[in-house]
Structure formats: structure tokens, C-alpha cells
Amino acid sequence: MAQQPPHIAIIGAGIFSRNTYIPRLAEISDLFVLRAIWTRGAVEIAKKFFPNVECKWGETGLSEIIDDVSIIGVAVVLAGQAQVEMSLRLLKGGKHVLQENYYQGLNIVAYSAVSELETAMSCYNSFNVAPIWAIAENYRFEPAFVEGRKLLSEVGDIINVHTIIEGSMNISNPYFSSSWRRSFEGGFILDMGVHFIAGLRMLVGCEITSVSALTSHVDGTLPPPDNISSTIQLENGSSGVFVMVVSSKSPKVLWRVVGLKGTIQVERGNIDGKHGYTVMLFTGDGGNKSWFYPFSGVTDELKTFLADTSLATMKKDQSFPVEHRLSFLEGARDVAVLEAMLESGRRQGATVQLARYRANLSAVSLDTVAYVTPYS
């Protein structure tokens, strides 16, 4: 029997939903049926790309989406603090969920209350069915990082890793005025920074075990802090630095892995009007090779979620090992690294270990999320 494209819904009509999700989904509209969008804000844009989409709102609209058994997957794109509660509600209703990578309200690092994450996880683990709970972190799907990672063996033993981010979060940016990003400490650092940490972790292929950071607040138009300078210790013994300025007049977004035999560099840029990343490999003989990869992470991630959702639905118990780049655990690790840097900054650069964080995560059996366990 030919497989039917999955029917899905979108919850949330914020800037990211309107500017990114809906247009990217429209490009792959043969792979799914967009049945419903929840909240009024996106009706116009959604109707433009998907004339048959139903627009729902309020408690009634949400219940209708949950009760509609033909809708199997939902993308949750709400303000950070509301994400987890909404995801849990949909998961409980049996929907596969792709949650945008905003859950910074959770304070998941071990030194602060893990309890929110723990509560969310034990709630998820208590459900009779365990639908896919995926975290959208599109950088793990950007071809530049996928390909850059494959080059790692060419540079030999890693001597140093550095990430230099000079962002451009100024008043011209549509996210600048976003209120939820301003309602907790480090809002922009976290919201923007998780992607850069994801890129770093993807590129080096090993975990960050401790950090020591200085933070500061210089630009009064941004919430504090707007500037982080951190050293990072990798689990395999290498070290490096992570520098992030939220708003700079001369933006630069760059990762470098320096090895004994060469260096890999990934840098954001623009070639022939296309935005993307240039990956460069500097070899020992003074030569270099370079490749340009236009952005396609959001699209590739949506395709993966749709494919995994279809496969999971064909299983009687819905259990399916969601692709690890979408797993909750990976997303949680990105956030934890930044939260550790912010905490270190609050303590004037004291070293903050991430190892305990991992122990805590396994204690709340997050690993079972990476490979969703069947219900009994």
C-alpha cells in the first residue's frame, strides 16, 4: 500500500513560525498535509501557502487538534517558557512532537533546580504511548556541519577549538523586540547561543565537560549579559574558547578546529546572494580547500521529522528511534553548556563542571528519549 503523507499541525505563530517554518514547509509541501494551525497571528501567511489549512485558536481549537486522530505530528513553535507544557500535552494526546529549541526556562543544569526537567521527563515517561519528542536544532542538520565533521580526521589530534560569534541582534532584527527573550537572564545569549554550541558539538564530535566564563553587559539596548568569553574543556582532553557578542557592528560567525595536521574552519557567509557556510580545510602543506553550503538545516530537519513520524506511525506501539540529531538529549546538552557559562559568569569565572549534569540526565532517564522506548 502506498504510504500516505502524514497530516500535521503547527502550534504557534511567532516570528520564527511565520518567517521560517511556514515558508520552509511550503517548499516540501508534497511530503505532508498541513491540516491546522493554532493561533490567529499566522492565518494570512498560512493561507497564502496552504489554502486548505484550518485555523484554530483557544482551548477549543487546541482540543480539536488533539482529538483529531488523523493529525499525527505537531510542530510546536511558541515562546520559550510555554514550549514544554504544550509539548507534554500533545504527547499525552499521542501526537509526535517537533518542539522548537526553546525551553530555556527549564534551568536544566545540575547546580540549579533540575526538577523542572525531571518533572517533564517523568511526565513523558509515564505516558502509555511514547510518541516522538524531537527537539528542533537545525544546526545539526546544516550540511556545512555534517560535511565539516567528516573532515575532522584530516586534521589529526585536536590542539584547540574556537568559536567566535559576533551577532547582529540590533533593532533591525525582527527578534530584537521579542518580549519572552527579554524576560529571563541571558535571553539572547541562550536563544542564539544554543545554535552555536550545537554547531561546535557537532563539529568536534565530543562533549564539553567544563567551562569557565566571564560575562558582561555593555549594550544597554539588550538584556544582560550581552557578552560571554569562556574557556571550554572537551572530554577528550582538548580545550578551546567560546566567545559571543550578541550585537556587533561587524558580524562574524566562525568555528575553527586546529589539529596537528591541519585546521577546519566553518564560517557564515554569503555567496551569489545565497546565505550559508563556507567550510575550509587548511592542510599541512600550506594549501586549502573550500566548499560553500547554503542553509538548508531547517528543511532537512523537517524532512527527517516527517519521515520518522511516518515510520513511527506504522509501528503498532509507535515506538521509533528518532534520529539522534533531533533527540531531546542533544538539545538539552546544548542548553546546559550555555547555562553553565552563564553560571560561571555569575561566579566571576569559577569553573563549572558539566559531568554532574550528565549523571543527572541519566538519572531522569533522558537517554530513553533519544531512543524512545516502547510502552508495555
Ligand X SMILES: *[C@@H]1O[C@H](CO)[C@@H](O)[C@H](O)[C@H]1NC(C)=O
Applying CB under 6 A, the residues found at the interface with ligand X are: 157-158, 168, 170-172, 204-206, 214, 216, 218, 227, 236-238, 245, 251, 288
* Amino acid identity for residue 352 in this structure: V
Q: Would you say 238 or 304 has its CB closer to ligand X?
A: 238
Q: Nearest residue by C-beta to ligand X?
A: 236
Torsion angles phi and psi, residue 292, rounded to 5: -110, 130
Question: What are the angstrom distances between the C-alpha of 88 and each of 46, 134, 212, 306, 363?
Answer: 25, 12, 34, 19, 20
Give Cα 27 to chain centroid, integer Å: 21
283: CB partners within 8 A, 6+ apart: 154, 261, 262, 289
Q: Would you say 53 or 234 has its CB closer to ligand X?
A: 234
Q: Would you say 6 or 225 has its CB closer to ligand X?
A: 225
Calpha distance 240→108 (Å, rounded)? 23
Q: Would you say 27 or 157 has its CB closer to ligand X?
A: 157
Residue 20 CB, nearest distance to ligand X (Å)?
A: 18
Residue 27 CB, nearest distance to ligand X (Å)?
A: 25
Residue 137 DSSP SS3: coil
Residue 214 CB, nearest distance to ligand X (Å)?
A: 6
**DSSP for residue 73:** E
Residue 14 CB, nearest distance to ligand X (Å)?
A: 20
Cα dihedral across residues 58, 61, 66, 67: positive or negative: positive
Q: Would you say 115 or 290 has its CB closer to ligand X?
A: 290
Residue 181 CB, nearest distance to ligand X (Å)?
A: 16
Cα dihedral across residues 23, 36, 91, 69: positive or negative: negative
Bond from prior residue into 225 cis (ω within 30 degrees of 0): yes
Q: Would you say 108 or 338 has its CB closer to ligand X?
A: 338
Instruction: Provide the angle, in degrees to the nearest 10, between the axes of the packed helices 115-125 and 83-92.
Output: 10
Q: Would you say 245 or 332 has its CB closer to ligand X?
A: 245
Question: Nine-digit cell at 253?
Answer: 560567525
Residue 211 CB, nearest distance to ligand X (Å)?
A: 16
Give Cα 153 to chain centroid, integer Å: 26
Residue 156 CB, nearest distance to ligand X (Å)?
A: 7
Q: How many residues does the chain have?
A: 376
**DSSP for residue 319:** -
Calpha distance 128→272 (Å, rounded)? 51
Q: Would you say 45 or 281 has its CB closer to ligand X?
A: 281
Exposed / middle / buried, residue 230 (Cβ in 10 Å: 0-12, 13-18, 19+): buried
Residue 49 CB, nearest distance to ligand X (Å)?
A: 27
Residue 32 CB, nearest distance to ligand X (Å)?
A: 34
Cell 517558557: give the residue: 81
Q: Would you say 8 or 204 has its CB closer to ligand X?
A: 204
Q: Would you say 205 or 284 has its CB closer to ligand X?
A: 205
**Side-chain half-sphere exposure of 101, counting CA atoms within 13 A:** 28
Q: Is 260 left (phi over 0), alpha (psi -120 to 50) or beta?
A: alpha
Residue 61 CB, nearest distance to ligand X (Å)?
A: 37
